[in-house]
Structure 1
């Protein structure tokens, strides 16, 4: 009697596809969009719980944590705008993103100062630094308009940035006309409808 061994055939169901070197991810902006959405939710939650004007050191720290996370999300959004030429490929479009990045960076500095309790808005320097918060948000509104006009982003992603980035032009007049109680309700709702949704659109972009 002859004994022989035949290797078992390879199982095709165990084959794992390995992406080719240099292959482009299907969702290259997934982390950018996720950070924007998480940041928007975090700031919305901070406003809902604490209000627009924290009155205690602990409240200021918590508020700054939420708003700071949102600002990091907006920085991630600016990086996506740069990489996709969302405003156009010319020098003016690139300069607009760089200027907005500078404004936002200074606004983040103000947020950190507020969070650790070293800012003093009675002093001109600190007051000027604090002003970069609304300046940066207004800058994003104009960027949102430019994205819609440029038309390089298509579908909902073309117009949703303009909706999301209208936060300042909606919330600030609401605060001035209707007072802090109404503004504290409008502000987080606008963040969720606008920026949190925009984060999802950015995360789903393929290019």
Structure 2
């Protein structure tokens, strides 16, 4: 067997970090600017729904009812943005169960949004429409799903600071508003409900705009540090 001796130095490997240096941080799955835009959408959609609750009777028919339905749809579209951030950052944890939970909530919210749109376009079908009657169930189911996700988010500890807890604050809407309705009536519950939306989901959206790095599972993105 021939032996070949060469004076050419071995090529340096580029797939390892130099000794004593930390490995490069993985880029976040979603850009901070995207988190800010989706947070702004959540805040705007919530504001539209809250204002409609202040100004119009959500249980009324006619124009007021349609405005309430469309305003509720604006809020639901904002929730899709929140779910997108939660899915991309794995806010509820890295397990398959957590991923499936978010996908199920997207389906529930889509069906609830379909009710809002159809009820605004075809309010006369609300009384005897089987499809609308079935879709109506998904409004409370979608909110229940958001509550479960907010609890999972707290337990997962991937989102940090106020963003870890604020989804749970936002999802206390029913716990606060329903007793007020039972004790003080519809007029008081409208003001409390609309106000809670501003304190809960609108504030959550603004937190995403202000501090998107808190969604990045314990590490701050270089893009946030550069102000991008």
TM-score by length of 1: 0.83
Provide the aligned C-alpha RMSD in A. 2.0
Aligned-pair CA distance for 1:76? 0.5
Which 5+ residue runs of structure 1 have no aligned equivalent? 1-21
Select the residue among 56, 72, 75 that pairs with 2:77: 72
Aligned mates of 1:120, 1:190 — CA distance in 2? 28
Counterpart in the other structure of 2:226: none
Alpha-carbon contact 1:61-1:116 (below 8 Å) kept: yes
Aligned mates of 2:195, 2:85 — CA distance in 1? 24
The answer on 1:107 being equivalent to 2:73 is no
Alpha-carbon contact 2:57-2:64 (below 8 Å) kept: no
TM-score by length of 2: 0.75
Select the residue among 41, 44, 48 that pairs with 1:42: 48
Which 5+ residue runs of structure 2 have no aligned equivalent? 1-26, 217-228
Q: Which has the higher contact order (CA 8 A, sep 6+)?
A: 1
Select the residue among 89, 98, 120 that pairs with 2:103: 98
* Structure 1 residues 77-156: aligned runs within 5 Å: 77-118=82-123, 119-156=125-162
Residue range with higher mean Cα deviation, 165-174 or 99-108: 165-174
